Structure 1
Amino acid sequence: MGSSILTGKRAGAMQKADGEWIYALFERGYESNVYPHTDHWSAVALGNYAQVMRRVFSHATSCEGGMLRSRNGSIRPENYIASWRSELAKPALLRNRAIDLSVGSSCYSAVPESQLDDVRLSLIRAGFESRIDELVGGSLSVSLHADIDLLLSIYGNSGSLSVWRVLKEYDCGAAQTEVPVPSATKTAMERMPEVRCHSIDQHNVLVAMGSAPWRHAGWQYSAVGSFITDVAYPVEMEAPGFAKKAIPAFRDAVSNAPQVPSATRITVTRSPEGTEEWRVRRADELARTLGLVAEDACAPAVFSFAFGDLLNREDTDRLLYGLGSFSDAQLQWEVPVARAGAEPDPAFFAADVQLSLCLA
């Protein structure tokens, strides 16, 4: 499987009449498994500071999983985010120009015919219903500056199309400007929620954030990715500088997490409302494997077992891996709280591993 290789970043900006700054973000790169390795620019985000940073944080999750790298190797998500903050502080000024929103059959069209209905709904929601006839008739030409709100409705975060269809890196002028970005606060890490985590197997982790219940968070890189978008992004918007310290702290927590205590109780609800049929079958298969029902029987509506029941079996690896097939609604984890000075669970822990790992 290939990776996207990042070779450059650039931010362009324009100021609306009400004083709000709108950014266009461009990245240059190539795919590692496509030859020759010819990099090219592509627009990746359009919106105000919070909106484009949401896209940046989303892309940062690909850094954690290794799908977005530099020529020199891996990129830490926190460094990727910090570098974009620097770009946003000194963007190039976006040149004004006319943009033809032509509807076409090509997948590269400004508005593909196959997505015309979605674009129509975007325009209606944003109050631009009067421009729909022009769009459908093929005569809608807009100004990058004067019609930026219309463009945002289609190509912004909540729009139905990607901004690379209409903006190019050369829309950035040579002149740069300084735009104030939120300054990092010394107290940002005070917003760090309590993090509790255990490893389920070699790859998967169990995580509880703050007062939220325990949940199977998937592979370690996936758990970090969820933290980046679900926790780090919203906190960063209120407490700048949070992501730079919080992401590596969370990564360390999941990387060094002790394994799930064998006394942990797992309760399975076979078929909560809205559960896909294949997940229901997983519950049936697990109940049969554990000997809770006959080979041809369905699992009870609710059943439970100890985590230790999955251990020291020929099929332990398969059973532990299979826990990732369940939805959050199907699994409830009750992890025993370790007493101060308690010995590690002999089924799992080396003597130098602590029973709990929390960040405050």
Structure 2
Amino acid sequence: MSTTPTTAPTIHWSEDRSAQPARSARWHSESCAPPPRRVVVADDRTKTATAYQLACEGTALLWQGDFHNARQLLRAMGRRIDRSSTPTRPDATPAESFRLHRRARGHRARVLGRLLVLLEDDHSLSLRRAPDVRRACAEAYGPPRGGRAVSLTELLGAIGAHQWREKGVEVPALGDGIRVHPHYGVFSPVRGEYVDLVARAPLAANPRTAFDLGTGTGVLAAVLARRGLAQVAATDINPRALTCARENAARLGLADRIEVTGPDLYPEGRADLVVCNPPWLPARPTSAVEQGVYDPAGTMLHGFLHGLTAHLHPGGEGWLILSDLAEHLGLRTRADLLTAIDSAGLRVTDRLDTSPRHPRTRDTTDPLHRARAAEVTSLWRLMPG
């Protein structure tokens, strides 16, 4: 049986605006955005108004000027978008505000994503005053396999992710000065309140084994191992997260106690404790990073609940770490959550609550400020029965 080979998506442009497109490059988008149909060359002479109009019309601009000027143009375009957008309405319900906010953010990302740069065969940038981005790109995209065009916003994200990976995120629950190092495309544990819940929740008598479902960086698996669990199986659907969690376990000296596996939600067998910190909002993610925030139709949440009993040793329990932000946004009710727990044949034995500490809870200009300020993150202790 013959198969039709797939062709890598490409963009096409001309160095001379009066000529037919004469150059092309492979297109790459982490959010799976399609390649732009029309591409024009832009440089230091390009005015913000021109770039903004072209990008709003769907035309991409391939930058060939100074790197820092490209960043300035991106910021200027962003300010124009912010001035022209209305992310919510005074009479909107919380759910409507959330949808309008996401729509505005999506529009902003699409427009700004039309400012492109060309990575060379070795992941370098041939732009004036360009930083060395080769290592950041290798971490994000893998080994160089020829040149490719990417949006500048995506490249800046890769650079930022590389800096976070180098610096790491301090996790006090693991000890003074101890850090985990997130990889590109893996949700970073910058909101430490949910980690603290796992660190202080009382353990049942002498648990030895645990599952950490949706491990991400592996931070919760590490906390459980540091609390004395002899063996922790950590799972994730994201291949980048699996690599990240393994590296963090090794860095922390816990590789002999943490087994990282995927892509199934549950590993084989049973455990004394099953911990799950699913994405908190039941909505569709638009990128790999957003998979750490959005859980379409609560798929992971319901998968955890309905699989828990079959994966617990007798007397074992499950810990569900979940924010009530979805409730304040009108995306899910407390009754919905309790019904899901009950329908899975589970009962709540205890609940620990904490308030978020991140700066957005104090940002009154945030369209979702009221919901964020009221948010509570909980650890629900669940048992069959």
Q: TM-score, normalised by structure 1?
A: 0.26
Rg comparison, structure with higher value? 1
Higher RCO (CA-CA < 8 Å; seq separation 6+): 1
